[in-house]
Amino acid sequence: MPQPQPPDDQILDTVHKTVIFENVVLGFGDLTVLNGVSFELKRGETKVLLGVAGSGKSTVLKLCLGLIKPDSGHIYVLGHDVTTMPEEKLFDLRGQVGIVFQESALFDSLTVRENVAFRLTEEKLPEQEVDARVREVLRFVELEDAIDKFPSELSGGMRRRVGIARAIITHPEVLLYDSPTGGLDPITSTTIIELIMKQRDVSKTSALLVSHRLQDGFMLASHYYDTETNRMQAVDGRPMRDVHTSFMILHGGKVIFDGTALELGRVQDPYIREYIS
């Protein structure tokens, strides 16, 4: 069935919006996972995707990268309609989008250095430049000492940090985090959230963050990264500081909430109230 195309006179606002979902429908067999999902991710914004297991949160991230195609609807990433792009062209676009997988998905036969440098090596950059940039991002995630280790020698938290380093090494315009704190202890989870915050506030990268943990989202919405102390600080008492963080809740294949933390706190929908309580 032919897909409706945006009218010629409708110019996509890629200056202010990095990801646009337009009425996206996706099913696997008889199961409809997404049923008319529409949302926008503004430039510099971090959107926290919440929902119960199986609500299609991770699917949204895979759709953004064109790893799977929707049954209908359109997805624009940095102005490109990934639903109609052939795989060959998607490889170029994916260079501008970073993803951190749920289980890190590090290449287990490569060292940390080779994992993080993967994109740069593929681009055949000079060895010296690759080494410098790998060390720079590993310093960012505080893992420079693990440069020659294999993923099997790292803890879960360290693997996530390597995953983040691999995702940010090319300075992508959009970052996708798939449950970056899933299965981690509270202290390590806070470290990961602090890194995501650092990326948001220092590099101003747009991000979609899938999480089961509401506290991760609220921490992002209530703290900012202080570059002077190199720690996260609570926003309390600094009302002018915008943390560029919003929330989106998926339920039954639809977006049932899309707004700020303040709006989420005021919502009266019984399902959402039960979910956030």
Partner 1 sequence: MELVSPAQFAKRGVLAVQEYSQLSARSLVNVFRQPRYVADTMQQADLIGFGSLPIVVLTGFFTGIVLALNFSPSLERFGALSLTGQLVSLSMIRELGPVLTSLMVAGRNASGMASELGSMKVTEQIDAMRALGTDPLKKLVTPRVVSTVCMMFFLTIISDLVGLFGGYLYSVARLGLDAYQYWNTAYQSLTFNDVATGLVKPIFFGFIVATVGCYYGLSTHGGTQGVGRSTTQAVVTASVLILAVDVVLAQLLISFR
Please give the Cα distance from 156 to 183 (Å, whole number). 8
Q: Is 218 in the site for partner 1 (CB under 8 A)?
A: no
Residue 27 beta carbon to partner 1: minimum distance, rounded to whole angstroms: 17
In the complex with partner 1, the residue whose CB is nearer, 122 or 263, is 122
Tokens of 134: 């790998």
Tell me which of 106, 192, 221, 250 binds partner 1, using CB under 8 A.
106
Tokens of 145: 């000492």
Q: Is 28 in the site for partner 1 (CB under 8 A)?
A: no
> How many residues lie near partner 1 (CB under 8 A)?
23
Residue 41 Cα distances to 46, 76, 94, angstroms: 8, 10, 17
In the complex with partner 1, the residue whose CB is nearer, 5 or 155, is 155
Local structure of 207: helix, strand or coil: strand
Question: Which of these segments, 20-28, 99-107, 142-150, 256-264, binds partner 1 (CB under 8 A)?
Answer: 99-107
Closest C-alpha among 208, 209, 242 to residue 223: 242
Tell me which of 4, 6, 54, 95 binds partner 1, using CB under 8 A.
95
Q: Is 166 in the site for partner 1 (CB under 8 A)?
A: yes
Local structure of 152: helix, strand or coil: helix
Q: Is 30 in the site for partner 1 (CB under 8 A)?
A: no
Q: Is 183 in the site for partner 1 (CB under 8 A)?
A: no
Q: Is 107 in the site for partner 1 (CB under 8 A)?
A: yes
Instruction: Tell me the backbone φ, ψ of residue 74, rounded to 5 degrees.
Output: -130, 145
CB 44 within 8 A of CB 244: yes
- Owner of token pair 């799977």: 68
CB 49 within 8 A of CB 250: yes
Q: Is 119 in the site for partner 1 (CB under 8 A)?
A: yes
Residues at the site binding partner 1, with contacts judged by CB under 8 A: 62, 65, 67, 87-88, 91-92, 94-95, 97, 99, 101-103, 105-108, 118-119, 122, 124, 166
